[in-house]
Amino acid sequence: MSLTLGTAQSERGKITYGEYPLVRHPIGGADALPVIIAQGQGDGPVFWVTAGIHGIEHAGLQVIHRLITPELLADLRGTLVAIPGLNPAGLRTLQRRAYYHDGDPNRLFPDGRTPFTDPDKAPPSALEQAYGQLFEEIKQSASYFFDLHCISIGSLSFAFRDRLLYRKGDEAARQRAEATSAKMEAMAHAYGHTLIADFAVSKYIDEKLHRATTASIAMLAGIPALTAEISSSYTPARATVNASLAGLRNILRWAGMLPGDPEPITGVKVVDPGYPTRRRSVARVTTACIVHHLAEPGDLVKVGDPLVEMRDAWGRVLGILYSEYDGFVISCPPGILYYPGEASVLLAIRDDEPLVGPYPDTFFD
């Protein structure tokens, strides 16, 4: 099978390189995405892996650089398509966003709605349009899709499970969503890291999570897709890069693209509380304070366990915040200075929400 993306063209038994045009600049020149295509001698699935849609999240670039090697190619069946930097503007300026789009770049993939034509609203930005084109390329060729992110310093390394939405009353769409979701579950287990579901279905649209790369690709194209969160932003810790790399190779083995048994995931904590979990921001401080965390990423907690000590600037204890849930600590947001109402811990709590559910009734109106 031959595959072209921008100036990169697959060649059987080779690693090829090129660029995919993204956004033209008013002053001339353009941002382009780096593209790597590795095609094995044997036929197999087409696996897309991307990183760096948030410009401060760098670990995924190293994972992709170190994944695609001549040794991997020798054993590879099928095709790997990799984009190590989805947001060149953000990466270049060390910003989460691209300076030419005012908003989170990982909320710009298509959502299946007809573009609005309200003259009082700005049309889709150049970046949004470019991601829409890229979505079409992914939809055409991908068997699987994997997007690499980072969450915060010292965080667990984990896979985020998207929830999938379908049109109410469309039985075929529901069945496709269930089938895609089941493959995503298997893919996540193959990764071998801690597994956490994203927010509940009801919060998906509010947070525009249905327009994140993986959610959009899984929902609209029926392609199993997974987000990995690899601990710290900016300069990566080598152990977390290695652990993600091992997990990614395990997914390729699961997909029949590499031979052999899964390799162990070492150097990061893998937490399994024995029940499915989803994320929730907790330990919202009740007064302006400096927090001292009493539980670390990876620690299992029970209802009533102390999570955070609130202190004043002089170090005097103002109060303690206790867990309202059983679960485990995923991460702590950057910094320890908080205003009232801000959450100081990201917790994985028991998930009793369905992984597949209908769009809200008014979604397509």
- Nearer to Zn ion by Cβ, of 106 and 250: the residue is 106
Stretch that binds Zn ion, among 53-61, 183-191, 290-298, 350-358 (CB under 5 A): 53-61
Stretch that binds Zn ion, among 125-133, 147-155, 212-220, 342-350 (CB under 5 A): 147-155
- Nearer to Zn ion by Cβ, of 54 and 280: the residue is 54
Q: Residue 176 CA to chain centroid, in angstroms?
A: 22
- Nearer to Zn ion by Cβ, of 53 and 67: the residue is 53
CA-CA distances (angstroms) from residue 279 to 120, 158, 346? Answer: 36, 12, 7
Per the listing, tokens 């965390």 go with: 293
Q: By CB under 5 A, how many residues form the interface with Zn ion?
A: 3
Of all residues in the shown chain, the one whose CB is closest to Zn ion is: 149
Site string for Zn ion, 7-46 (x = CB under 5 A): ----------------------------------------
Stretch that binds Zn ion, among 54-62, 109-117, 250-258, 295-303 (CB under 5 A): 54-62
CA–CA separation, 230 vs 156, rounded Å? 7
- Nearer to Zn ion by Cβ, of 11 and 207: the residue is 207
Binder of Zn ion out of 58, 97, 101, 149 (CB under 5 A): 149
- Nearer to Zn ion by Cβ, of 226 and 295: the residue is 226
Which amino acid makes up residue 29? G
Under 8 Å between Cβ of 194 and 261 = no
Residue 54 touches Zn ion, criterion: CB under 5 A: yes
Token couple for 180: 């895609």
Min CB(196)–Zn ion separation in Å: 14
Torsion of Cα atoms, 79 then 139 then 67 then 266, to 10°? -120
Stretch that binds Zn ion, among 52-60, 122-130, 155-163, 272-280 (CB under 5 A): 52-60
Rg (CA), the chain: 21
**Interior CA angle at 157 toward 62 and 326, to 5°?**
170
Under 8 Å between Cβ of 260 and 253 = yes
- Nearer to Zn ion by Cβ, of 57 and 128: the residue is 57
Min CB(149)–Zn ion separation in Å: 3
CA–CA separation, 281 vs 348, rounded Å? 9
Token couple for 79: 């095709």
Min CB(223)–Zn ion separation in Å: 20
In the chain, what's the furthest Cα-to-Cα distance?
Answer: 66
Under 8 Å between Cβ of 262 and 256 = no
- Nearer to Zn ion by Cβ, of 57 and 111: the residue is 57
Stretch that binds Zn ion, among 87-95, 146-154, 176-184, 199-207 (CB under 5 A): 146-154
Stretch that binds Zn ion, among 36-44, 57-65, 71-79, 255-263 (CB under 5 A): 57-65
Torsion of Cα atoms, 57 then 63 then 66 then 67, to 10°? -140
Residue 211 touches Zn ion, criterion: CB under 5 A: no
CA–CA separation, 283 vs 179, rounded Å? 36
**Interface residues with Zn ion (CB under 5 A)?**
54, 57, 149
